[in-house]
Amino acid sequence: VLWLGGLRVIDESLSLGAFVAFNAYLIRMSRPLMMLGRMVDEFQRSIASLARIEAVIDHPPEDRGSGADRCITGEIELRDVSFTFPGDDTPVLDRISLRIPAGDTLAIVGRVGSGKSTLARLLPRLLEPTTGEVLVDGTPVQQMPLATLRSAIGYVPQDSFLFSETIRENLSIGLDGVSDSPSSRPEPVEWAAGISQLAGDLEDFPAGYETMVGERGVTLSGGQKQRAALARAVIREPRILVLDDALASVDTHTEERILKSLREIMKARTTIVIAHRLSTVRDADRIILLNDGHITESGTHDELVAKGGRYADMYRRQNLTQELGDL
């Protein structure tokens, strides 16, 4: 515009005043056009937000369960449990039956999409089985008050949400609504951070436990976010702890220290560990291998390695990969 306008002013086919006026009007027009572009972007965001709000509003209310409050010891049983997502004909879990005695550690392994996370989400009733029953202490979970059931379970999913608050406030959420939180610990937040091996990292933060983590924990690394979520779950010492690949972003040395700490605090408590890294599950009382929604192998680590099946093959391959990485 300036080049062509300048040439026309020089050859006197356009007056200087008209040229200046044209540029002034052009600048005034550009601002509304820029605002229009922003409005289109905000409108698209509003449509997406409205769709999410409508999905929440239209979601059926949770069944709050029935029965009286009780003290949960942690025995878990699945009886002929199957689960199929709505609109899908292929079951994610197919006639699963297993029993976990109170105080035992069960490890669940298998390839991606084998149904591990789905099985874990059935216990706190984040999903309901299509057929079959999930029982805790011999009682179907639908016949227990939902608040009682969930207060007894510490659940750490693969992708945990952290709020835009301080680290202390995020970890303290684990104590909200828990009447029987451990009163013998004067500093439960610091204790839980020590269990999850997060305390050492926080010493390097200028504000320590008062550090703002940002929306979804953007100021923390993937491993730090997972350890914060773990601390939030163990802070109230639940009767049942479910770890859904909760240490995937943690290095092996830190993982070993975390597992050692968990074994101490989870004595006489039930633990379910889902993992791809088999070093995480070696010390479990029982390991099951899921494949296409079925339990194809079951036993201790040594028993499964001795069988020479799929678990043994996975273990050998992971060992070889680790040895090559150490070279």
- Assess whether pLDDT exceeds 90 at residue 78: yes
Question: How much is the pLDDT for 307?
Answer: 93
Beta carbons of 228 and 196 less than 8 angstroms apart: yes
Tell me: the pLDDT tens digits for 233-249? 999 889 999 999 888 88
101 and 143 fall within a common domain? yes
**pLDDT for position 56:** 81
163 with 295, same domain? yes
Residues 92 and 226 in one domain: yes
Q: What is the pLDDT of residues 252-287, one digit of tens each?
A: 888 889 988 988 888 888 999 998 888 888 889 999
> At 181, is the pLDDT very low, low, confident or very high (cuts 50, 70, 90)?
very low
Strand pairing of 76-83 and 131-136?
A: antiparallel
Please indicate, yes or no, whether residues 149 and 237 belong to a single structural domain of this protein: yes
Whole-number pLDDT of residue 179: 46
- Residue 129 and residue 45 share a domain: no
The rounded mean pLDDT for the chain is: 86
- Classify residue 165: in a domain, yes or no: yes
- Mean pLDDT of all residues in 56-65: 74
| pLDDT surpasses 70 at 184 | no
The range of the structural domain enclosing residue 40 comes to 2-58
State residue 137's pLDDT score: 93
As given in the structure block, the two tokens for residue 293 are 């929604």
